[in-house]
Structure 1
Amino acid sequence: MTGKMIPVSIRIPEKDAAFLAQLDVDGATTLSEKVRALIGEARRRREAGGFASEAVRNLEDIHLAQDRQRRVQEQSLSFHSELVSYLSHWLLETHIACLTQEDWGGDPDEVRGALEQYEASLADQIFVLMDQMLRMGLTTTSRCYNPHVVSGRMEALKELIAIYNKD
């Protein structure tokens, strides 16, 4: 840490102190180090000008933790769902696509172009999901917790596809 250190005394609830003691923050071990690390993290977020990279990191942490917990449960039961695995990955990628458009340009033409590019990126994400769901629905069973979870929902889509194909 660079710069002069200034002592600060704070009082926090016992519950927060216990949480802080258990928190893993950038290799900090003492409560003082952890508080400094949290303040530094908040400062970096503020100074970054944009929040996208920090938000993406947080999203990845959340998704990875959730996926890890799910996989442990699946392994303990010898149970797996391609739908859940794929959707979890897709949600993260789509959420990142929503967050990472920071430079909208300055003049109206740049903004319009950036908005069109943003829309196209999100449309790509939606069609990737649609493609995967249709592929899973081609067979009467899929590698999911419930083997009929996808095929049982395909009838409505088949009707829409038939209407589309009439034109």
Structure 2
Amino acid sequence: MVTTSTTMEPLSARIPSDLYLWLAQLQVEGATTNSDKLRVLLGQLKRHHDGALDYVAAHAWARDITSRLRESLVRTEGQTGRHSDVLNAMLDHVTTCLAIVVSNAPTSEQEAARLEDLLVRRGFALSEMLLRQATTTQASAYDPAVVQRHAAATLELAQTIQSPLSKGA
């Protein structure tokens, strides 16, 4: 549990019963009691509000908010024995991009260009992974045809772009 001050102040609040039940059942890493949970959650909110989330903290936050989905996928894999590289790569991509966006607040054109470069690089890495999955008719996915079904327009664009590039080479 992370706190910015060693002095603790009491806080009393009345909240609707549905929020109380939600908080009581919420799994928050490093927190067991409702008071612990509130401290952790308020600390996260303050860091987010202050813009103090560095990339590592933002990535941990993004993984935390996607943890229910990740756990569900692990359960599904355990029950069925099936795994989706496509879905896991998409989830990793979303987590990483969210962390990049949340941890950045460019104050100059140079910083904005750096952010743009990071996001475009991540976007093309995802495209490359999906294109690798498109090299066969059966992608490593819960729906093995999902990549083939959506790849046609991207492949057509890639072929169009390749022609002018290869002429200049």
When normalised by structure 2's length, the TM-score is 0.73
Which residue pairs with 1:166 in the alignment?
163
The alignment status of 1:37 with 2:48, answered yes or no, reads: no
Q: Which AA in structure 1 matches 2:70?
A: D
Post-superposition shift, 1:62?
Answer: 1.5
Post-superposition shift, 1:129?
Answer: 0.8
Which residue pairs with 2:131 in the alignment?
134
**Rg (Cα) greater in structure:** 1
The alignment status of 1:74 with 2:74, answered yes or no, reads: no
Which residue pairs with 1:151 in the alignment?
148
Query: Structure 1's 140 and 20: CA in aligned 2 closer, same or farther, altered over 3 A?
Result: closer
Q: Distance in 2 between matches of 1:39 and 1:81?
A: 32
Q: Distance in 2 between matches of 1:146 and 1:128?
A: 21
Unaligned 5+ segments in structure 2 are: 165-169
Post-superposition shift, 1:27?
Answer: 3.5
Counterpart secondary structure, 1:52: coil
Unaligned 5+ segments in structure 1 are: 105-110
Q: Distance in 2 between matches of 1:39 and 1:61?
A: 11
Which residue pairs with 2:17 in the alignment?
14
CA contact 1:28–1:37 (8 Å) conserved in 2? no
Which residue pairs with 2:167 in the alignment?
none
Q: Distance in 2 between matches of 1:149 and 1:39?
A: 37
CA contact 2:106–2:112 (8 Å) conserved in 1? no
Q: Which AA in structure 2 matches 1:94?
A: C
CA contact 2:59–2:96 (8 Å) conserved in 1? no
Counterpart secondary structure, 1:150: helix
Which has the higher relative contact order, 1 or 2, with Cα contacts under 8 A spaced 6 or more apart?
A: 2
Q: Which AA in structure 2 matches 1:72?
A: R
Percentage of matched positions with identical amino acids: 22
Deviations 1:10-61 (A, max 9, x none): 44433344344444554453x5x34862686278537x73143465443220
Q: Distance in 2 between matches of 1:131 and 1:51?
A: 32
Which residue pairs with 2:50 in the alignment?
49
Match of 2:121 among 110, 113, 124: 124
CA contact 1:81–1:143 (8 Å) conserved in 2? yes
Counterpart secondary structure, 2:145: coil
Post-superposition shift, 1:72?
Answer: 0.4
